[in-house]
Each structure stands twice: as C-alpha cells, then as structure tokens.
Chains A and B, each alone.
Chain A
C-alpha cells in the first residue's frame, strides 16, 4: 500500500505502469474486482440473485461476518489471535436474550449488560495472555482454554435451551430497514468506520500495530504492552458481542450455539482482506470486503444448487487460497527488495 506515494513521483510515462501495479498490489481493489465479477456471474446464472429479498439476506450475513472478522482482525493486528470470538458471542447472545426473555429487562439495559459481559470476557482473555507473556502462542492457548470456559458458562446457564421470547422492537435491529437500507448493515458499517478511524488516526491503533510488528521493539520504545493487550482484547470482545447481539435480533431468538462456527471465517475475512497473520498490518476496508466476498460465496453456493455437505470443505479451501495469495505477495515483495538491494550494491 505504500507503493503508490513513492512510485507516483517519477515522470509521466511511468504512470500507466504504476497505476496497474497499484491495482494489482492493492488488496481492497482486487477483492472489489472479484466481488463485482462474482456478482455479475451469479446474476447471470440465477434469476433469484438480484432480488431485493436475496440482497437483504446477503447484507445480513455480510454484517455478522464483517463484525466477527473485525473482532479477529484487531487481535491479529496486535500479533495474537482470539479463538474465543465465537464463545464470547455465544455467551453474550444468551445473556442479552435471557435478560429480555426471563427477566423482562428493557432492551437498552439488556444490550448494555450483554456488552459489559463481553468486555469482561475480553478483559479476562487479556489478563491471562499478558500473564503468559503476550506472545502469539500464548494468545492461542489462552483463548483456546477461555473459549471452553465461556462456552461452559453458556451451556451451564441455559442447559442448551434457547430463549425465544424476544421483543419485536429489538428484532428491528436485525431485520428492519431505514430508507431501504438494512439497519444491521448501517450499524456494522458505522462500527467499521470507527475502527478504521482508530487504526488510521489514533495513538492506540498505532500501539496495537506496533505490538504486532515487533513485541520487543514496542516494549523498548515505551509502549505499555500489558495495557495494550488488555485494550486489544476488550475491543475484540466488544465487536464479537455486537455481532452476537445483532445475530439474536436477526434470528429473533437467542440460541446457545451462536458462535459455534465463527472461528474459521473470523480468520478468513481479515486474511482475504490483506491483514498480515503475523501482526503489524491490518486493513479494515479489506476485512469488510473480505466478509462481503464470503457472504456472497455462501449465498452463491445456495443459488448454484451446490451440495451443502461440501460447505466445510470449501471454507477450508478459501482460507488456504487466501493465505497462499498473501504468501505469494510476501515472497514477491521480498524478492523485489532483494533485487533492489543487489542493484544498489552493484551501483
């Protein structure tokens, strides 16, 4: 992404070549291209694809995927990972739904308490990870254990029984429209914009990325590692909580198995979008577009009458494809850097 500013400097004849290279290297644009092509293909093959109902369904699926992807992206950016996004989502969905159903609490307070419970989960994650040394491995292991703790709390509270009695005004969040635009999508895009702002313009965003770039360097340059890890995991947990709250509104019931299948696409969306798995580099717009692509693919599989049993296989292959593309890009970058260095040394 830093290529264009540098490369656009030279004389006019270069511009053509450079702008093509820029498109090729810009993740968001190439994903956008794939999305447009894919949508065109789908609308040509299936008459039902470009209907208002179907696009609404795609928008709903996209919103949840995007929020879950962003929840993972924040932690990946800090050089860690959060395997408990799904378990946090499940617990928050149950708490919010349960408060409205069996306690009859007002919508606002139910959501508020749900988000607070989610943040506490994130805080718990962060505390344990910081205690284990704040490395990538420790975040993997810690969240593997805590996801079991959160899922256990969820199942223990509910005995695996869902809450169905959800107020109609609450379900508006998931199924309503404002001037033709799904509410769920408006909320998601607003949150994504806020997150983009945090990463682009605030010290906090830079600190999170610095942690992912090089933990030791970040510590030596005065970043409070423990504090940043805590904040990162709280942000991640809050994003997962919002995803769960909106999913409950969309399903019009709080199911204990919410979040069970989030893990794979939580990694897929940011990785497709050009977030570096090792940390230090994130792309909010890329993750959002990655989520849109994932939502379109799973919607497309339905329209193409593809065997539902192949779904798990295809999801795995999508991740492999995404990381392979990322790997090719890294290798190519390293190669061109090496060539530049050699040329410089030769000169």
Chain B
C-alpha cells in the first residue's frame, strides 16, 4: 500500500515539471515563430546543458541539506585557469580539461574541509569563499579574458553527434553518473542519510564529516566542469562566467522535485527543471519581451518552484 503511494508521488513530481514543459512548448509552437527551428533547439540544448550541470552541482550540496554559494566563483576560477593553461602555457586540451576539473574538485574539497573542521556556519563559509575564489581569479588575471584558445578546444562547443550537440550529451552523461552515484552506490545512500538526519546518520556509523567533504568536492568538480563547458560554448574564458548561476542552480533541482530540506533528490528532474527554465526564457525572447525583464521572470520562476516544493512537502506529509 505504502509503495503505491510512493509510486504515485514519484509520478506526480515528474509530472509537475514535464507537463509545464509540454504545455509551454505547444503554446510557443503555435504562438511564436521559430520555436522548433534547428537553430533555436540547438541554442536551447546548449543552455540546458550548462544549467543542468550547475543545477546538479547544487543538487549534491542540497542532498546533505547544505548550499554551495561559491559554485559560480568555482566555475569562473576553473574557466580562467583553463584559459591560462591553453593560451599562455600551451597545455594539451585533454590535460587542461583534466587539470580544470581537478582544480574545481580541490576548491570544493577545501570548502568541505573548512565546513567540517571549523564548525562555522556552512552558509557563511561558502559566501566568503565565493568572494575569495573569485577574488583570486580576478587578481591573477587582472580582469582580462582569454580569447586565443586552440580550435580543437572550441570544437567541443560546436560538435554534433547524431545531430545532438556534444555539450548536451555530456550533460546527460553527467546526470546518469550522478544518478548512479546517488541511487545505486553505498556512497549515495550515506549521502542521503546524512541529508535526511545528520545525527541519526552519525549514530548509525556513517562518517558524516567525510561525506560532507566528498559532497562538496563533487559539487566543486561539477561547477568546474560547467565552467569549462561554458568556455567551450563562448569560445573564450571570461570572469563573468558563473556570475548568474546562483539562482538557476537552485531553481533547476527544486523545479525537478528535489526537496530543499535535504534527504531527497531527483537527478533527472533537475535536467527537466533546467529544460523548463530554458524554455520559459526562450519563449520570452521569441515573443519579443525586453531582455531587461528576464531577471524578474527568473525570480518568479524560483518563487513558483518554492510553492511547488511546499505543496509537495504537504503531500508527502499526508503520504507518510
């Protein structure tokens, strides 16, 4: 009986994001010109790719009931490091990407270590670190961008496999990887247990400190990867990368059905959450709304996501 209720809820929560996607797509197809053109769909797919990886980076920290406010700065730091490695030091593309992801992981690990070892409120640590990390990137590059990137690297942003952008495939691959970690491995179960009730997890023998450090490292790795992919998409490494990630990093998982209180995540929901957001913003472009208003819509979308989260919590409360 309880399984049936749970199944119903799972179906409902995916419906909460998939139905609006279908509805808005239909509306846009009939009301606006150019929604289903290959050009528009490609640009949508590229946006979704970056947004969903950023959302998954936040999803990891949400799963232990914490935030990563520094993910934008981590993305910017990695992007600038990558740019420097490729342009200034002529490091081979593959090595540069690996070093970039490693750097993101290291930043996340430092963040996790600070949270665990100092006992200072995680919120303020990630807030301060976001400024420290971006500050280092700004000071070292002196605010300048890297434009002379090798063609092989820029190709990553332009490559198609079976007519699907490579970046989008990478995002799907990352989502599958995160899904497997969270749902099929002991590590994932320990992460979710820590998020649901840290004290209970500690008492049942889980090394919660280690889990927190691992989660922040993974979150940093994904933020770094998103930064690298953004560089590939733009064709240049700029400090502005990651500046507008914070809001969408929360909106994508929450729209997809991740509970803000921790202990429950929906990895593919995050992908759909990113799609929903991208389609809404795309729709605003197609119906010629002044782009200065987009910020307002993003805020409203996030508020709507919270309202959905509230309703879902209430339903879960009834379900239990």
Interface of A with B (CB < 8 Å)? 81, 128, 131-132, 137, 140-142, 144-153, 155-156, 158-160, 263-264, 267, 271, 277-278, 307, 309-317, 319-320, 323-324, 327, 331
Residue B316 at the A interface, CB < 8 A? no
Q: Which residue of chain A has its CB nearest to the CB of B298?
A: A148
A267–B124 contact, CB under 8 A? yes
Q: How far is it, in angstroms, between the C-alpha of A332 and the C-alpha of B120 when the chains are bound?
A: 14
Q: How far is it, in angstroms, between the C-alpha of A285 and the C-alpha of B258 when the chains are bound?
A: 41
B124–A271 contact, CB under 8 A? yes
A145–B127 contact, CB under 8 A? no
B310–A316 contact, CB under 8 A? no
Q: How far is it, in angstroms, between the C-alpha of A159 and the C-alpha of B294 when the chains are bound?
A: 12
Across the interface, which residues of B come within 8 angstroms of A131, CB to CB?
Answer: 310
Binary CB contact string for chain B from 275 to 299 against chain A (1 if under 8 A, 0 otherwise): 0000000000000001011111111
**Besides A128-B306, A324-B120, 15 other A-B contacts (C-beta < 8 A):** A131-B310, A132-B310, A148-B296, A149-B296, A152-B298, A158-B292, A264-B127, A277-B121, A309-B139, A313-B132, A317-B132, A319-B124, A320-B132, A327-B119, A331-B119
B250–A144 contact, CB under 8 A? yes
**CB of B281, distance to nearest CB on chain A (Å):** 12
B135–A151 contact, CB under 8 A? no
**CB of A324, distance to nearest CB on chain B (Å):** 7
B135–A313 contact, CB under 8 A? yes
Q: Which residue of chain A has its CB nearest to the CB of B297?
A: A152
**CB of B277, distance to nearest CB on chain A (Å):** 12
Given the contacts A132-B310, A316-B128, A148 and B120 also touching, CB distance less than 8 Å:
no
Main secondary structure of the interface of B (DSSP, over half): helix
**CB of B209, distance to nearest CB on chain A (Å):** 17
Q: Which residue of chain A has its CB nearest to the CB of B301?
A: A145
Residue B118 at the A interface, CB < 8 A? yes
Q: Which residue of chain A has its CB nearest to the CB of B134?
A: A312
A309–B138 contact, CB under 8 A? yes
B135–A141 contact, CB under 8 A? no
Across the interface, which residues of B come within 8 angstroms of A263, CB to CB?
Answer: 127
Across the interface, which residues of A come within 8 angstroms of B129, CB to CB?
Answer: 316, 320
Which of B125, B132, B134, B302 is A144 in contact with, Cβ under 8 Å? B302
Q: How far is it, in angstroms, between the C-alpha of A263 and the C-alpha of B121 when the chains are bound?
A: 17
Q: Which residue of chain A has its CB nearest to the CB of B296?
A: A152
**CB of A51, distance to nearest CB on chain B (Å):** 29
A278–B121 contact, CB under 8 A? yes
A327–B120 contact, CB under 8 A? yes
Residue B90 at the A interface, CB < 8 A? no
Given the contacts A141-B260, A277-B124, A278-B121, A312 and B299 also touching, CB distance less than 8 Å:
no
Across the interface, which residues of B come within 8 angstroms of A147, CB to CB?
Answer: 299
A156–B136 contact, CB under 8 A? no
Across the interface, which residues of A come within 8 angstroms of B168, CB to CB?
Answer: none
**CB of B204, distance to nearest CB on chain A (Å):** 24
Across the interface, which residues of A come within 8 angstroms of B310, CB to CB?
Answer: 131-132
| Most chain A CB within a 10 A radius of its CB, from B127, B133, B260, B298 | B127
Q: How many B residues have CB within 8 A of the partner chain? A: 41
Q: How far is it, in angstroms, between the C-alpha of A137 and the C-alpha of B309 when the chains are bound?
A: 13
Q: How far is it, in angstroms, between the C-alpha of A195 and the C-alpha of B264 when the chains are bound?
A: 42
B250–A153 contact, CB under 8 A? no
Across the interface, which residues of A come within 8 angstroms of B302, CB to CB?
Answer: 141, 144-145, 148
Across the interface, which residues of A come within 8 angstroms of B123, CB to CB?
Answer: 81, 140, 277
A313–B131 contact, CB under 8 A? yes
A307–B294 contact, CB under 8 A? no
B143–A309 contact, CB under 8 A? yes
A264–B131 contact, CB under 8 A? yes
Question: Could you give 8 example pairs across A and B, Cβ below 8 Å?
Answer: A128-B306, A151-B295, A152-B296, A267-B124, A309-B143, A314-B135, A316-B130, A316-B133
Across the interface, which residues of A come within 8 angstroms of B293, CB to CB?
Answer: 152, 155-156
Given the contacts A144-B247, A148-B302, A152-B293, A316 and B121 also touching, CB distance less than 8 Å:
no
Which of B127, B138, B306 is A319 in contact with, Cβ under 8 Å? B127
Contacting A at CB under 8 A, from B130-175, are: 130-136, 138-139, 142-143
**CB of B55, distance to nearest CB on chain A (Å):** 14
Given the contacts A316-B129, A319-B127, A159 and B136 also touching, CB distance less than 8 Å:
no
**CB of B132, distance to nearest CB on chain A (Å):** 4
Across the interface, which residues of B come within 8 angstroms of A323, CB to CB?
Answer: 120-121, 124-125, 128
Q: How far is it, in angstroms, between the C-alpha of A132 and the C-alpha of B318 when the chains are bound?
A: 18
A149–B299 contact, CB under 8 A? yes
**CB of B314, distance to nearest CB on chain A (Å):** 11
Residue B300 at the A interface, CB < 8 A? yes
The 9 closest A-B pairs by CB, nearest first: A152-B296, A313-B135, A148-B299, A316-B131, A152-B295, A149-B299, A316-B132, A312-B135, A145-B302
Which of B128, B131, B134, B290 is A156 in contact with, Cβ under 8 Å? B290
A155–B134 contact, CB under 8 A? no
**CB of A182, distance to nearest CB on chain B (Å):** 29
Q: Which residue of chain B has its CB nearest to the CB of A321?
A: B128
A160–B292 contact, CB under 8 A? yes
Given the contacts A313-B136, A316-B131, A317-B132, A146 and B121 also touching, CB distance less than 8 Å:
no
Q: How far is it, in angstroms, between the C-alpha of A155 and the C-alpha of B296 when the chains are bound?
A: 9
Which of A150, A319, A331 is B128 in contact with, Cβ under 8 Å? A319
Residue B35 at the A interface, CB < 8 A? no
A152–B127 contact, CB under 8 A? no
Q: How far is it, in angstroms, between the C-alpha of A314 and the C-alpha of B84 when the chains are bound?
A: 23
Residue B246 at the A interface, CB < 8 A? yes
